[in-house]
């Protein structure tokens, strides 16, 4: 277990080119493996999660080459994957497990998806149920991994997930590639649409509305040359660091600004953050631009309802900002956080309390008191192996009195391996 000591103070100052977006990289890799021909994906995510997806695809007989941040994938066509000799290990990646389950449901063989201890604890019923409705045979114990998937001929369905989930939507759409007719997924709250965008880029036919997405079966997917935008979900931790430390100024180049992902920037502006966006362009169906941030006093605010689904990955970061706002941060309707890589509500609350924050925990969220509750103090904190908690508590530690020790800090590599190096460089540049 590695640990990292975060000393407070300094300022954030500099320009950053972010690693590729994790969510988009997963999708490009899986769809490229189902396409015909050799795809080249530049700025592919460096995260451990996306490497798990690549390794699963290799075990299915897909030829993959990597050089620096470029990945070349020789697709096999829709039914060219080979039956794996061993279980496919998604490690800590829920995205890998859920989306690969959708693609494997249409394959004419039996495969097993497993993961690390944390992933095997996470519920998979929400993806198992629609795939079973489509005709896949899936065996599991208590609706948790390992998942044994016997794929084959699938039926088209019209499906409304009980809980909004981009991963479940993606699994059903990927399975819909193999169905006997058009498959529809309906959403009461629009979740991130990277799968729809990527499938169109590769040649799939998708129509309908934002709330009812329909995919037509058996498209001839064609290899593509693609560049992955910078990861906004990783960028937010650097943005938060600039908001914690006075006099900070940060520029992030080529960040993904997909409207289903960028709500967090709108929220930050609404509570007083000084955020400017420039050089916006469309890249392979995805909105990309530069984001500039200057330190400014934050008022605080409440997050609930549809905002939760739109900012689910950013909620730990927003909770970490609570003690640095005037009125604190309050989160409701976020039960989903209880079944992420950790119980993110309990783990975040425990970490902030150890640092002296006043935190009230709810079944579906938390309230973190603002500056009037007093300054944070350095402490020893445990992110419970959760990458986003590790980064969020590191951000809070920048504004504490005294050093903070983050246990198992390297779990941040699950999504942002360069996080601590980047943070150190930005603070080092400011000191120089």
Q: Say how far apart CA 335 and CA 103 lie, in whole Å.
A: 28
Angle 172-343-105 from CA coordinates, rounded to 5°: 20
Per-residue CA distances from 71 to 37, 49, 101, 427 (Å): 14, 15, 22, 31
Per-residue CA distances from 62 to 35, 50, 68, 90, 307 (Å): 11, 15, 19, 16, 38
Core vs surface per residue 166-202: b (16+ CB within 10 A) or e: bbbbbbbbbbbbbbeebbbbebeebbbbbbbbbbbbb
- Say which residue the tokens 């040649």 belong to: 203
Say how many residues make up the chain: 432
- 313 catalytic? Reply is yes
The token duo for 72 is 């070349």
Q: Which of 49, 231, 313, 382 is catalytic?
A: 313
* Range list of β-strands (E), 137-201: 137-141, 144-150, 158-159, 183-186
Q: What are phi and psi of 138, to 5 degrees?
A: -130, 125
380 three-state secondary structure: strand
The answer to whether the CB of 317 falls within 8 A of the CB of 240 is yes
DSSP string, 310-341: HTGGGHHHHHHHGGGBSS-EEE-S-GGGGGSS
DSSP string, 3-17: EEEE------EEEEE
Q: Say how far apart CA 62 and CA 196 lie, in whole Å.
A: 22
Angle 139-142-24 from CA coordinates, rounded to 5°: 70
Burial (CB < 10 A; 0-12, 13-18, 19+), residue 144, is middle
Which residues are designated catalytic? 313
């Amino acid at each position: 277990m590695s640990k990292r000591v975060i000393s407070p103070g300094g300022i954030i100052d500099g320009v950053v080119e972010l690693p590729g977006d994790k969510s988009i990289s997963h999708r490009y890799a899986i769809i490229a493996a189902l396409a015909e021909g050799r795809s080249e994906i530049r700025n592919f995510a460096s995260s451990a999660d996306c490497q798990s997806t690549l390794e699963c695809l290799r075990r299915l007989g897909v030829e993959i080459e990597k050089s620096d941040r470029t990945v070349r994938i020789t697709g096999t066509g829709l039914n060219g994957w080979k039956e794996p000799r061993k279980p496919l290990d998604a490690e800590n990646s829920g995205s890998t497990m859920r989306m690969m389950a959708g693609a494997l449901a249409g394959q004419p063989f039996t495969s097993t998806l497993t993961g690390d201890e944390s992933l095997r604890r996470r519920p998979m019923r929400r993806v198992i149920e629609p795939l079973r409705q489509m005709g896949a045979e899936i065996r599991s114990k208590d609706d948790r991994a390992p998942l044994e998937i016997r794929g084959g001929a699938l039926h088209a369905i019209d499906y409304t997930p009980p809980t909004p989930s981009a991963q479940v939507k993606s699994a059903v759409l990927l399975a819909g590639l193999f169905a006997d007719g058009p498959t529809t997924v309906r959403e009461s709250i629009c979740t991130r649409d990277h799968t729809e965008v990527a499938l169109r880029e590769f040649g799939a036919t998708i129509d309908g509305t934002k709330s009812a997405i329909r995919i037509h079966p058996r498209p001839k997917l064609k290899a593509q040359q693609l560049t992955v935008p910078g990861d906004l979900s990783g960028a937010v931790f650097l943005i938060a660091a600039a908001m914690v430390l006075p006099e900070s100024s940060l520029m992030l180049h080529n960040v993904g600004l997909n409207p289903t992902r960028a709500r967090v920037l709108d929220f930050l502006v609404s509570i007083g953050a000084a955020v400017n966006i420039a050089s916006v362009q469309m890249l392979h169906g995805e909105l990309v631009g530069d984001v500039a941030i200057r330190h400014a006093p934050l008022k605080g605010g409440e997050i609930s309802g549809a905002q939760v689904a739109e900012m689910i990955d950013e909620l730990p970061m927003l909770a970490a900002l609570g003690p640095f706002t005037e009125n604190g941060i309050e989160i409701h309707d976020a039960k989903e956080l209880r079944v992420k890589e950790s119980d993110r509500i309990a783990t975040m609350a425990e970490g902030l309390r150890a640092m002296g924050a006043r935190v009230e925990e709810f079944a579906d969220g938390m309230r973190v008191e603002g500056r009037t509750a007093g300054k944070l103090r350095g402490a020893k904190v445990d992110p419970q192996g959760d990458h986003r908690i590790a980064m969020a508590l590191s951000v809070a530690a920048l504004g504490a009195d005294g050093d903070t020790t983050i246990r198992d800090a390297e779990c941040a590599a699950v999504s942002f391996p360069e996080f601590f190096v980047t943070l150190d460089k930005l603070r080092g540049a400011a000191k120089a």
